[in-house]
A and B are shown apart, each in its own frame.
Chain A
């Protein structure tokens, strides 16, 4: 009798395990009649998540029939999960996309074309950067949620210590380099202009930049060069303009006025040198004001320097709300309500701007005292930069060609190969990536 009990118990256990396995595989979706359930996805930090929840609560007050289900995770996980969710048709109906990833999804047919809705409901003149999500055919794929735009950051204390004038908006890249020489210091306190300067023991760099957004793209474009042509399907890397721009960079790196990519690896993060007071200037986007303020730096910002022909370029990333193509009918409309709420409501824009993460999309809010006050003093520089702003030649295979470009160009930055060699190699590799996607 006893062993019988044992067997029954074991059978029960087996059945429980089995059913648990089966049940965990499928979950049921509850839907109330008449109400719309909207799945909203965004990447966030602890701080921004709280603000987002507040804004969602406000939205629900205004739209009681729309029930929002949020899905958020830190940046990397969010986008890792997103691809597989799209494949499994369980992706959010509307999600926050990094600006550089919008074409990746748009050109692969995953996003809803928002052109008609934008033209119907949004006045183009009221916003910064609606056009940053426009493709070559004139279609809009997203509405900016917040904008990252780059300026020149400088540490006032370091300029004062070296007894040189603060940067102005009249600077060229050569002016910047002249200043950088006087600001680059070794561990013995000798500046780069001093013959006793030891470039193997840098304690302070004149300038720091890294990679594409906060690095080489702005130099290439202000010298009249760039990476892709207007159709974004053809490499234009191998040009005399790019040669001049890259020579400027490589020369600066070889003299250690700015860190090479491998120098940067000595820091905990590529973004660290400026806030940790290891660099006097940086090319930085708006979000970098958070670190600089948190570090208590005495700093300010100004426009990025001009190229030899007087041309300027400020790279832009418009992080945007995009709508899933599969969100049709009432769900699609609800998704658009959310996007519209975000873009048009002054209050939302102000609340979000208070985080200091991005320049507000709505011009009236960006130009208000609320945004322009605080540190750095010259926040106006971010807004003025829109005049010569552009995207980072973003297309469907952006991350891939950027990787290939960096592979080649970083070797020139490290002094392993010549600029000409690096340009030829990058040109071929990038073109190969483009052809594979666009010439199918």
Chain B
């Protein structure tokens, strides 16, 4: 009974402070972050300096994993494949999504249908996309080869061809991802005030000039966000390549023919989970982190040069 008056007073003091309330409300997230994110991050940093096969305790190995990694030709191949994928994917998807968003920002008939149609692949799983793309690019039964044969060209191996596999995967990824980026651009486009266009029209600007001199600069903030998002997502690309190059059937074949579609995330997965070299895989993860950090920092620095905020 004696404690009773004390508790409400303390509580009342806390209740009166908004910032403390805020802290309390985010506590679950902070605990989650410390336990499941920060903890794992530090653990993986430690593992990256050790030999760790998951089944037995890790043994300190110093820089051995990193040394091995940088001397491993497969690592450099995976690095190149990832960069190649990003170089093709990010500009292609950004430009196409912007054009598409501009087109779908007009007053058209059946606008909702078109917006929806471009969003369907976004919400489909990669397994579904696999079946769709298999109907086209299956070397034996696919439409692409029957078309080539019909016009008198040689059939191709498509995803089994070392030179074609990454461009094809990029094409499919653009098709799947474009709806999402388009929606982000649409939101950006709708924030462009229409009086600016009207003014330009009075000055006699055509469609192309309006697009290049009004739309592009005024949505540069959105473009910047899109670039960062897509770069990060391509460096983390895993599921698509894993599913499409047969990883679900046989983990070792996920890298495609002659490792031509082995990207960093698949390399990491194979080393860590298939071959039980978790220390080595952690080193790959940290290298990947450093690369992404530098790339993002670079983009943030460069944005001052070209991003306009109102």
Contact = CB atoms under 8 A, between A and B. Distances in A.
A7 interface: yes
A141 to B, nearest CB: 14
Query: What is the interface of chain B mostly: helix, strand, loop, or mixed?
Result: helix
A1 interface: no
A105 B55 CA distance: 8
A108 B28 contact: no
A406 B32 CA distance: 43
Nearest to A440: B51
B55 A263 contact: no
B263 to A, nearest CB: 16
B31 interface: yes
A397 B275 contact: yes
Contacts of A87: 54-55
Contacts of B53: 108
A418 interface: no
A368 interface: no
| Contact count band on A | 35 or more
Contact of A86 (B27, B54, B160, B275): B54
B28 A17 contact: yes
Contact of A109 (B31, B56, B249, B251): B56
Contacts of B250: 211, 270
Contacts of B213: none
B252 A399 contact: yes
B27 A18 contact: yes
A26 interface: no
A302 to B, nearest CB: 28
Contacts of B248: 76
Contacts of A14: 24-25, 27-28
Contacts of A410: 257
A10 B270 CA distance: 46
Interface string B244-270: 001011111100011100000000001
A28 interface: no
A22 B252 CA distance: 39
Nearest to A267: B140
Contacts of A108: 53, 55-56, 276
B155 interface: yes
B55 A83 contact: yes
A411 B160 CA distance: 11
Interface in A383-406: 397, 399-400, 402-403, 406
Contact of B249 (A86, A269, A397, A403): A269
A403 B21 CA distance: 55
A211 B56 CA distance: 30
Interface in B38-64: 53-56
A86 B53 CA distance: 11
Nearest to B25: A14
B273 A265 contact: no
Given A83-B276, A265-B160, A407 B56 contact: no
Interface in A84-100: 84, 86-87
Contacts of B274: 399-400, 403
B139 A263 contact: yes
Contacts of A266: 138-141
Nearest to A211: B250
A110 interface: yes
A263 B54 contact: no
Contacts of B276: 83, 104, 108
A211 B251 CA distance: 13
A110 B160 contact: no
B25 A262 contact: no
B159 interface: yes
Interface string A254-274: 000000001101110110000
Interface string A1-14: 00000010011001
A411 B253 CA distance: 12
A47 interface: no
B308 interface: no
A411 B257 CA distance: 8
Nearest to A15: B24
B55 A109 contact: yes
Contact of B253 (A10, A11, A25, A406): A406
B302 interface: no
A400 B141 contact: no
B253 A262 contact: no
B190 to A, nearest CB: 35
Contact of A21 (B25, B32, B155, B251): B32
B55 to A, nearest CB: 5
A83 B54 contact: yes
A200 interface: yes
A119 interface: no
A277 to B, nearest CB: 14
Contacts of B251: 399, 403
7 contacts: A10-B25, A86-B55, A108-B56, A263-B139, A266-B139, A403-B252, A407-B259
Given A86-B54, A269-B249, A403-B251, 11 more contacts: A18-B31, A105-B55, A262-B139, A262-B157, A262-B257, A265-B159, A265-B246, A270-B249, A270-B250, A399-B275, A403-B252
Interface of A: 7, 10-11, 14, 17-18, 21, 25, 76, 80, 83-84, 86-87, 104-105, 108-110, 200, 211, 262-263, 265-267, 269-270, 397, 399-400, 402-403, 406-407, 410-411, 414, 416
